[in-house]
Chains A and B, each alone.
Chain A
Amino acid sequence: AQRVTQPEKLLSVFKGAPVELKCNYSYSGSPELFWYVQYSRQRLQLLLRHISRESIKGFTADLNKGETSFHLKKPFAQEEDSAMYYCALSGQGGADKLIFGTGTRLQVFP
């Protein structure tokens, strides 16, 4: 079954601390993995996806097929990183449906 698991509902850190938002997935095949972010009162927007292997706003995520994980990391959290983060997967080939995890709320305190 296709599933995305984000075990933490809430993650609170102080500014400058490292951040790791966990994401594990279950998929029969080779999925595409994404991280989406939703800032307060804004629409959902793409943060990064594993195929591009890029760093956005200091965040990175490495796909670990052995552990079926796609954890999101940032070495030094900023207050403006406070938001809701969703891990998601889709099948390869584009235009496939996105399956979302339950989301993790990141709170960065000053």
Chain B
Amino acid sequence: GAVVSQHPSRVICKSGTSVKIECRSLDFQATTMFWYRQFPKQSLMLMATSNEGSKATYEQGVEKDKFLINHASLTLSTLTVTSAHPEDSSFYICSASIPGTGDYGYTFGSGTRLTVV
């Protein structure tokens, strides 16, 4: 089935540094990918929608300059948390829509736990 691989699964970084999270579609072309953030014991909050070859669409309240999204190919989208602060510590999950006529399921990555110290 359609699989999305997300790396790293866990990362710890110092405050002020940048962290890049990768999301790859392994066996299909993902023209659209989504980035979510999940706080402890809370739901997934959509951060942005990325379309291959174009700028990402950010949800209200999400800082574009802080959370840089690049979707340069049909199999890779990246989320870079720039100048990370402790409040950016969270669980980040990517998702891709599964292509196919009449099939609009979604597949999810296994998530990245970011801890900023």
Contact = CB atoms under 8 A, between A and B. Distances in A.
Given A86-B43, A102-B42, A102-B43, A97 B108 contact: no
Contacts of A100: 36, 43-46
A13 interface: no
Contacts of B109: 43
B87 interface: no
A99 B34 CA distance: 11
A95 B101 CA distance: 12
A42 B110 CA distance: 7
A78 B36 CA distance: 30
Interface residues of B, number: 22
In this complex, the interface size class of chain A, counting residues with CB under 8 Å from chain B, is 20 to 34
Most chain B Cβ neighbours within 10 Å, of A44, A100, A102: A44
Contacts of B36: 100
B55 to A, nearest CB: 15
Interface of A: 32, 34, 36, 42-46, 49, 86, 90, 93-103
Given A44-B108, A94-B103, 10 more contacts: A44-B95, A45-B108, A46-B106, A49-B105, A96-B104, A97-B49, A98-B95, A99-B46, A101-B43, A103-B42
Interface of B: 31-32, 34, 36, 42-46, 49, 93, 95, 97, 103-111
